[in-house]
Amino acid sequence: MLIFKHISDLQNYLSKQRLNSKTIGFVPTMGALHKGHLYLLQKSKAEQDISVCSIFVNPTQFNQKTDLKAYPRTIEQDIYLLEKEGNDVLFMPDENEMYPKGQLPKIDFDFAGLDKDMEGSHRPGHFNGVVMVLHRFLNIIQPNAIYMGQKDFQQYLITDKLAKDFHPKTKVRMVQTVREADGLAMSSRNLRLSEKGRAVSKNLYAALKSFSEKMHSVPVDDLKNSIIKSLNEHPDIEVEYLELANAENMQLLENVEKESKKVVCIAANVEGVRLIDNLIIP
Ligand code: AMP
């Protein structure tokens, strides 16, 4: 696997590949890799000639300094896993490479309301940081496709609009969430949970499933309240939100719209570790 830390080296390599008509798949990550990330990579490898994975813990998307500091970093293990998976290129720039002299890329992006609720309202500035870093990466790499996990569904939809508006040659592929055997969505943040916290976290996925099973017979608000109440009864769980939204525009739904594709999303703190998950309901 080739490892690049500098944009110019990566671009030199990629332009040669393009001259040889090779297609490029891009998997952006913040490291502490797990099977979810590797699944994105497998999709890219299956569809593209060359796969580029990036590891960059992007400071502009963290709205809390403590969260940024506590974010797990396991670079040696990450390199080992990427090599084993047969990844072609790892791009691991530092902050100065991505944001020279601390200058943040400017982009006049219209979120069209995709950022209004859930992660947008609970993590102010988060999606501005995400858009900033992805816009920069897409300008640098110009991939044929970027691979995004369903686990961050709102982020996927925003990336899809970003690509349509500014990077029309890049397709955005959504890849299904990879879960632990008990249903917990794999996440780098799971590393910060104690054994007890890890065990209790399975209730988030169970809550989403229960919501999707009961939403046709119980009013949405009553269902939300009762599920949040029972989750909060676990001393280690504190729910931030549980919402049903239209899966195309992320508008919150108070009633089940039969005709539209929906997504039920949850965010909760478990032992102070912020976890998110969602289920798409066709
Ligand atoms: P992160 O390193 O958390 O920023 O995630 C990098 C990419 O991996 C994002 O597109 C995530 O949505 C995706 N991802 C994270 N966890 C999972 C998972 N359990 N299954 C599938 N994709 C995931």
User: What is the predicted pLDDT for the residue at 276?
Assistant: 98
What is the mean predicted confidence (pLDDT) over 206-230? 97
Q: Is the CB of 187 under 6 A from ligand 1?
A: yes
Confidence at residue 259, expressed as pLDDT on a 0 to 100 scale:
80
Tell me if 149 CB under 6 Å of ligand 1: yes
Q: How far is the CA of 222 from the centre of ligand 1 (A)?
A: 31
pLDDT > 70: what percent of the chain? 100
Q: Is 152 in the pocket of ligand 1 (CB under 6 A)?
A: yes
pLDDT for res 150:
98
Does pTM top 0.95 for this prediction? yes
Q: Residue 19 Cα, ligand 1 centroid: separation in angstroms?
A: 31
Q: Tell me the pLDDT tens digit for each residue of 141-193.
A: 999 999 999 999 999 999 999 999 999 999 999 999 999 999 999 999 999 99
In this predicted structure, what is the pLDDT of residue 36? 98
Instruction: Report CA(217)–ligand 1 centroid distance (Å).
Output: 32
Rounded to the nearest angstrom, the gap between the alpha carbon of residue 233 and the centroid of all alpha carbons in its chain is 28
Position 260 scores a pLDDT of: 87
120: Cβ below 6 Å to ligand 1? no
223-260: pLDDT as tens digits = 999 999 999 999 999 999 999 999 999 999 999 978 88
- How buried is residue 53: exposed, middle or buried, by Cβ count under 10 Å (0-12/13-18/19+)? buried
pLDDT tens-digit profile of 57-115? 999 999 899 999 999 999 999 999 999 999 999 999 999 999 999 999 889 999 999 99
Instruction: Please name the residue whose Cα sits nearest to atom 14 of ligand 1.
Output: 149
